[in-house]
């Protein structure tokens, strides 16, 4: 058996951000059309430490992909990523393993990419002020991906620790650090929640009419997004599985009717409407769907084969 190995730096070089956005859109269309196969993710938990998720996915004309991701939030104190992942690629005709690649970068960039795609579809056309709450890996990835869908004149960065907001803001020419979450949110056109908080980090009355909110935090048994914001706005999701309890879906949505959510794929297909007015608040809540890993990994794999990138090993 021969396997292609792709490192994190190689995956970064292979994934063009604009192409990734297009691939994510195609993946969401397939998901809403029922053409994608993605069984419910399962979980192994280590008490007081973290958990491991398995996330397989496949759709016609793509290779099968399985991501194994460990989420250990205490790693931040050790100077290593809280999310670490491997992605395996399999031939859909024979089941033969073909590649193993870093999944940590893919997890970060596909999550931010899906959130940015939601902003492309749902944020007001005149949105010019972006707020990012959370200055970790996802905060950085959001700054990178959201610049591909809108031209923001002002970018605000807030974090639990102000020094982290300063550090992230220094990486973007239009960004400035803000000391309080409330100051960062008030008057913003797009608000991105990128934290590991188990409790809500914003108040509904901070939001202006017409704001688009994205939330990618996953910290069961709680989360960063207030239920009041979900009720106040129109909700959009990757898939209605998001309404299932963790580890399948999001704890912030568990118990709510799936009918209140619109899938991004349904908007892309024209089956259901997106933003209804300039004053409407739109909310995108991410569950982190395996279809995103599949399209990103296939994109990286095809380019690696075409460009001769990576290292082949025999097992």
Give the pLDDT confidence of 25-71 residue by residue, as tens digits.
Answer: 999 999 999 999 999 999 999 999 999 999 999 999 999 999 999 99
Categorize the per-residue pLDDT at 77 as very low, low, confident or very high, splitting at 50, 70 and 90: confident
Tell me how far the alpha carbon of residue 51 is from its chain's centroid: 18
Domain count, the chain: 2
> Is 30 within the bounds of a domain?
yes
> Is 115 within the bounds of a domain?
no
pLDDT above 90 (res 83): no
Residue 74 pLDDT: 87
> Is 116 within the bounds of a domain?
no
Do residues 60 and 132 share a domain? no
Across 60-85, average pLDDT:
91
Across 169-179, average pLDDT:
96
Distances (CA, A) of 266 to 26, 31, 59, 117, 290: 11, 9, 17, 13, 18
> Is 90 within the bounds of a domain?
yes
> Is 117 within the bounds of a domain?
no
Instruction: Give percent of the chain above pLDDT 70.
Output: 100
Instruction: Give percent of the chain above pLDDT 90.
Output: 92
Query: In which residue are the tokens 């010019």 written?
Result: 128
Do residues 163 and 248 share a domain? yes
Beta partners for residue 52, in sequence order: 44, 70
Do residues 204 and 222 share a domain? yes
> Is 278 within the bounds of a domain?
yes
Distances (CA, A) of 309 to 9, 16, 132, 222, 303: 11, 15, 34, 41, 8
> What tokens appear for 264 in the block?
């991004």
Do residues 182 and 238 share a domain? yes
Across 93-119, average pLDDT:
97
Distances (CA, A) of 102 to 53, 76, 106: 15, 19, 7
Residue 81 pLDDT: 85
For residues 264-276, one letter each, b for 16 or more C-beta atoms within 10 angstroms of the residue's C-beta and e for the rest, the string is: bbbbbeeeeebbe
| Domain encompassing residue 222 | 125-288
> What tokens appear for 253 in the block?
């949505």
> Is 118 within the bounds of a domain?
no
> Is 114 within the bounds of a domain?
no
pLDDT above 90 (res 306): yes
The domain spanning residue 65 has which CATH number? 3.30.1780.10
Cα gap 263→255, rounded to integer Å: 18
Do residues 131 and 41 share a domain? no
């Amino acid at each position: 058996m021969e396997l292609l190995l792709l490192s994190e730096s190689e995956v970064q070089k292979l994934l063009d951000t604009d192409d990734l956005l297009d691939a994510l859109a195609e993946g969401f269309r397939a998901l809403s059309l029922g053409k994608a196969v993605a069984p419910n993710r399962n979980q192994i938990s280590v008490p007081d430490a973290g958990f491991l998720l398995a996330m397989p996915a496949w759709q016609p004309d793509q290779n099968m992909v399985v991501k194994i991701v460990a989420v250990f939030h205490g790693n931040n104190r050790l100077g290593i990523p809280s999310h670490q992942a491997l992605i395996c690629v399999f031939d859909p005709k024979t089941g033969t393993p073909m590649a193993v690649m870093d999944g940590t970068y893919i997890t970060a960039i596909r999550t931010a990419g899906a959130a940015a795609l939601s902003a492309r579809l749902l944020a007001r056309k005149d949105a010019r002020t972006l707020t990012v709450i959370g200055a970790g890996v996802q905060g950085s990835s959001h700054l990178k991906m959201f610049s591909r869908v809108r031209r923001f004149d002002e970018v605000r960065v807030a974090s639990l620790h102000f020094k982290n907001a300063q550090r992230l803001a220094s990486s973007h020419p239009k960004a400035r650090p803000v000391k309080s979450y409330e100051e960062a949110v008030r008057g913003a056109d797009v608000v991105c929640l990128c934290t590991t908080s188990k409790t809500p980090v914003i108040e509904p009355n901070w939001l202006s009419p017409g704001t688009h909110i994205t939330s990618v935090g996953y910290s069961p048994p709680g989360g960063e997004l207030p239920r009041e914001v979900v009720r106040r706005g129109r909700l959009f999701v990757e898939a209605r599985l998001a309404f299932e309890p963790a580890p399948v879906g999001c704890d912030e949505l568990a118990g709510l009717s799936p009918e209140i959510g619109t899938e991004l794929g349904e908007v892309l297909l024209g089956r259901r409407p997106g933003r209804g007015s300039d004053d409407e608040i739109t909310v995108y809540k991410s569950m982190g769907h395996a279809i995103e890993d599949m399209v990103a990994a296939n994109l990286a794999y095809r380019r690696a084969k075409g460009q001769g990138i990576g290292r082949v090993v025999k097992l």
